[in-house]
Structure 1
Amino acid sequence: MNARVLMVQGCTSDAGKSALVTGLCRWLHRQGVAVAPFKPQNMALNAAVTADGGEIGRAQAVQAQAAGVPPHTDFNPVLLKPQSDVGAQVIVHGHAVGAMEAHRYHDYKQVAMQAVLASHRRLCERFEAVVVEGAGSPAEINLRERDIANMGYAEAVDCPVILIADIDRGGVFAHLVGTLALLSASERARVAGFIINRFRGDMALLQPGLDWLQQETGKPVLGVLPYLHGLSLEAEDALPRDGDERDSAGAGLRVAVPALPHISNHTDLDALRNHPDVACLFVGPGQQPPACDLIVLPGSKTTRADLQWLRDQGWESAIARHLRYGGRLIGICGGFQMLGRAVHDPQGIEGLPGSSDGLGWLDMETTLAPAKVLRQAAGTLTLGDTPVRGYEIHCGVSQGAALDRPACLLSDGRPDGAHSADDRILGTYLHGLFDEPQALSALLAWAGLRDPVPFDIRQEREASIDRLADAVEWHLDIDTLRRLLVMNGERPCAT
């Protein structure tokens, strides 16, 4: 095959790149086009395990779902998982190559670009169309040198680019015109048009601005996407935006989740956030841990540092009080490790070498090791022998008597996690714990919710992907998109 390639770049982070690529992939898939998503470089702590045994950003796994293909490491060849303000774990083709500070990674980009181009070539050979997502903004002047995430990639493979901007945040015309002005002449030439995202209001009032934008830049506006309320898509990284939380008045179960500084795979909580009977709240720094029925300690990229943050924010005493008054507690991955007696990091896998006292609620200790576990998993919860399915991404090895009472029995014969003898605490390495409808109902009932309404987050996500594809078809210039993605013989995929 000789795939057509189209790249979506944003004027800012969270402009809607991931959602647009998702919608385009589903729109093409509906038409029978063999399409693949692609993000050359992603920086995110929400990761997915792929069919070929690696990890990629969860946004690319969602886009693969939209395209009707299993997630693959070629969809996101370079993944950066931040461990501090100046450093990250670098993952290439699904596997960690080491932790690097920003200046060292800048030098490494030449190597990373070769991985990006290798994945690009393989996708072009396998698919008819490749829809590419940029990262952040292409107008970051300090990041232009050796860029592999935005225009550096687009120039290397000679593909057209669409710029998307978020009108809901304000300043949309300044974002688009300013971004275009900061590009080089060749980069400006490859911008095929603009898309405005998250519009709510009267289109007649917006039209004069659209006319001015096209006259000022010479670039067409390819459409205006409406603000789609209530989408259930797995977030690329950031916690839910203000205003994105569902109205949970009258909910039968209250759930509190500490918003750890290096929280990872918080999409584990999507099923709780969207369940009609549940009020699920992320509790940030400086906020008092609230009274609730269930506390969930989520995954963490820096378990010991986030454990210290929990203590500094008063969660240690809040959890003790919560359990004393009959509340339930679940720890997932890093959150599970925190529940033990100690977390050891002798090789400095997640930061400075050393050990930290755990919260002490489970009789076990965890030692971090360089080899990362990456695998899909399925089995049953020990709560009522209920089916459960998810995935594992962790460096820790846990040992101790608490593991003699596992939370899950996996289909490959392995026990997983721990279930306390007093029935108040569960810990597991299984991400996606709440995604299986039967497991969700069982866990909600265990936490105190009477007769929980059946709820399937996977169906919600699928419906949201279809809504995005409908928006693409109804609100965008389909003829131009079809020409760029399906019939554009003038821009063959570079190999």
Structure 2
Amino acid sequence: MIQGTSSDAGKSTLVAGLCRVLHRRGVAVAPFKPQNMALNSAVSADGGEIGRAQALQAQAAGIEASSDMNPVLLKPHSDCGAQVIVQGRVLGNMDALAYQQYKRIARAAVLESHARLSARYRALIVEGAGSPAEINLREHDIANMGFAEAVDCPVLLIADIGRGGVFAQLVGTLALLSDSERARVRGFVINRFRGERRLLESGLQWLQQHTGKPVLGVLPYLHGLHLDAEDAIDREQPAKPQALLRVVLPALPHISNHNDFDALRQHPQLRLRFVGPGEEPPAADLVILPGSKAVRSDLAWLRAQGWEDYLNTHLRYGGRLLGICGGLQMLGRVIADPLGLEGSAGTSEGFGWLDLHTTLAADKQLRNVQGELRLEGGVPVTGYEIHAGVSRGPALARPAIRLGEREDGAISADGRVLGTYLHGLFDHPQACAALLRWAGLARPQALDRGALREAALARLADCLEAELDLRAIFALLELPA
């Protein structure tokens, strides 16, 4: 099990890399994360909803993702409330106190999923959540040491040296564990190191002498490594002197599945910018309204931030506007949430650029799909749907996408506004190129997000093979060196 001294220490990346290292050696390996809190999710092969990071880790392992790989997924819709998804299916909304009590029940689902995976795979690489030293969350813990103790699992502790105080992170975390938990930690991994390695050696020696535990690797900062983020938005963009198309997105308070735009982030001809609260949106060729876990709340946020006037001006001067999932719903006339699925029950007026209305329903739609994007006479597109909204209205008579016998989304009569429920539509090279031409880029370069993801996993695995003590790690997995 990989646990971290904090969130974003590198747990997800290390698990993905180890899965690929083992897959290269022909080991049947699977990822597992008992409890995940994230708004980036994916549809598994068995039709359930899991964290996006676990879908990537399954790809690294060379297997299809299943709901058992992330048996508990929490999707926050407020500071104190979240949608609870158990073994791929929505259980309902809970506040933090109610979920703390529910964890005793969730534990059974976690252990059941773990047992099924253990029966199918030679090795499991488990990812913790946050930090095991969060004292206030120790009771009924299923995410970190509570799980590791229940299944008798050895633990590696990873820390991000880029945050500063890496030795304090590691020693302080150990100090807050119980004796049995401390003994369970078999070694450390230091992540995102930059600089002269020799200057670190004295600290590594002290750490091993002080704790009696080995440092099993120091991983360098891998510049330009693009893998699907578990949740946080990376707003740092590389310089692109050849950028020809300006793309702007609001960083919504409850933005979901922002990995939809990783292909755009990597595209050499695009300048992509997420605009946060209090920031003035710049001029753009294409504006994208992304998915949201609390659409009505985020719609109100957009209006309060002045985005409605900005978007009206953008369209008046010929710009293109794309809405994905919750963004599609915002483009319509009305969003109704009669059951209070994403907050308080009620109805909100949409922006009205597409003549449709949306009602949130209890049954969530979960599908991996492929079809045809209705641009340029039709081009192939693939993706997935994760939404509770059901949209109806005259705008749907001009669909954006055909998916077998059904249709999805809408294109405005003037061709400037397009909306769809389909996540991941930029990942298909032909669909990406067609959308960029629609947005105004005359000759878009081909970009295959799937191939780039595979190349990134290979680069990550190469790094781990060079920098980790794999002999020690294989021994923990009871695998031959």
Establish whether TM, by shorter chain, passes 0.5. yes
Aligned to 1:399: 392
SS at match of 1:27: helix
Deviations 1:255-280 (A, max 9, x none): 00000000000000111111010011
Deviations 1:191-234 (A, max 9, x none): 01000000011110000000000001000000100000111111
2:210 is equivalent to residue 216 of structure 1:
yes
Partner Cα separation in structure 1 for residue 234 and residue 94 of structure 2 = 28
Identity of aligned residues (%): 67
Specify which of 441, 465, 468 is matched with residue 476 of structure 1. Answer: 468
Partner Cα separation in structure 1 for residue 229 and residue 391 of structure 2 = 29
Aligned to 1:408: 401
Offset of residue 388 of structure 1: 0.4
2:110 is equivalent to residue 89 of structure 1:
no
Aligned to 1:150: 144
User: 1:390 is matched by which residue type in structure 2?
Assistant: G
Aligned to 1:47: 41
Partner Cα separation in structure 2 for residue 348 and residue 54 of structure 1 = 22
SS at match of 1:48: strand
Specify which of 413, 430, 433 is matched with residue 422 of structure 2. Answer: 430
Offset of residue 457 of structure 1: 1.1
User: 2:108 is matched by which residue type in structure 1?
Assistant: Q
SS at match of 2:146: helix
SS at match of 2:430: helix
Aligned to 1:4: none
Offset of residue 488 of structure 1: 8.1
Aligned to 1:3: none
Aligned to 2:438: 446
SS at match of 2:418: strand
Specify which of 217, 227, 247 is matched with residue 239 of structure 2. Answer: 247
Aligned to 1:338: 330
Offset of residue 37 of structure 1: 0.1
Aligned to 2:52: 58
Offset of residue 150 of structure 1: 0.1
Aligned to 1:378: 370
Partner Cα separation in structure 2 for residue 271 and residue 312 of structure 1 = 30
User: 1:419 is matched by which residue type in structure 2?
Assistant: I
Aligned to 2:92: 98
2:101 is equivalent to residue 107 of structure 1:
yes
Deviations 1:379-430 (A, max 9, x none): 011102010000000000001000000000112x111000111010100000
Aligned to 1:492: none
Query: Is the contact made by 2:20 and 2:457 (CA closer than 8 Å) also made in structure 1?
Result: yes
Deviations 1:19-56 (A, max 9, x none): 00000000000000000000000000000001001000
2:308 is equivalent to residue 316 of structure 1:
yes
Partner Cα separation in structure 2 for residue 52 and residue 33 of structure 1 = 23
Name the TM-score, length of structure 2 as normaliser: 0.99
SS at match of 1:286: coil
Partner Cα separation in structure 2 for residue 65 and residue 245 of structure 1 = 26
Aligned to 1:493: none
Partner Cα separation in structure 2 for residue 360 and residue 448 of structure 1 = 23
Partner Cα separation in structure 2 for residue 172 and residue 29 of structure 1 = 30
Partner Cα separation in structure 2 for residue 482 and residue 376 of structure 1 = 35
Partner Cα separation in structure 1 for residue 35 and residue 124 of structure 2 = 15
Partner Cα separation in structure 2 for residue 480 and residue 87 of structure 1 = 41
2:161 is equivalent to residue 200 of structure 1:
no
Offset of residue 458 of structure 1: 1.1
Partner Cα separation in structure 1 for residue 466 and residue 266 of structure 2 = 26
Partner Cα separation in structure 2 for residue 248 and residue 410 of structure 1 = 35
Partner Cα separation in structure 2 for residue 427 and residue 165 of structure 1 = 41
Deviations 1:421-478 (A, max 9, x none): 1010100000001110000000001100111010111111111111111111000001
Deviations 1:337-382 (A, max 9, x none): 0000010011111111110000010000000010000011110111
Q: How does 1:224-303 map to 2 (within 5 A)?
A: 224-240=218-234, 244-303=236-295
Query: Is the contact made by 2:242 and 2:268 (CA closer than 8 Å) also made in structure 1?
Result: no
Partner Cα separation in structure 2 for residue 174 and residue 391 of structure 1 = 42
Q: Which has the higher contact order (CA 8 A, sep 6+)?
A: 1
Q: How does 1:352-371 map to 2 (within 5 A)?
A: 352-371=344-363
Query: What is the number of residues matched between the two proteins?
Result: 480
Aligned to 1:165: 159
Deviations 1:117-175 (A, max 9, x none): 00010011000000000000000000011100000000000010000000011110000
2:321 is equivalent to residue 329 of structure 1:
yes
Offset of residue 328 of structure 1: 0.2
Partner Cα separation in structure 2 for residue 347 and residue 13 of structure 1 = 33
Partner Cα separation in structure 1 for residue 202 and residue 391 of structure 2 = 62
Aligned to 2:117: 123
Aligned to 1:419: 411
Distance 1:488 1:190, change over 3 A: farther
SS at match of 1:261: coil
Partner Cα separation in structure 2 for residue 46 and residue 140 of structure 1 = 23
Query: Is the contact made by 2:382 and 2:425 (CA closer than 8 Å) also made in structure 1?
Result: yes
Offset of residue 247 of structure 1: 1.7
Partner Cα separation in structure 2 for residue 408 and residue 248 of structure 1 = 31
SS at match of 1:444: helix
Offset of residue 67 of structure 1: 0.2
Q: Which of structure 1's runs of 4+ aligned residues deviate more than 2 A?
A: 486-489
Q: How does 1:10-25 map to 2 (within 5 A)?
A: 10-25=4-19
Name the TM-score, length of structure 1 as normaliser: 0.96
Partner Cα separation in structure 2 for residue 280 and residue 110 of structure 1 = 43
Offset of residue 486 of structure 1: 3.9
Query: Is the contact made by 2:5 and 2:130 (CA closer than 8 Å) also made in structure 1?
Result: yes
User: 1:463 is matched by which residue type in structure 2?
Assistant: A
Partner Cα separation in structure 2 for residue 428 and residue 486 of structure 1 = 47
SS at match of 1:215: helix
Specify which of 52, 60, 66 is matched with residue 72 of structure 1. Answer: 66
Deviations 1:256-311 (A, max 9, x none): 00000000000001111110100110000000011010000000000000000000
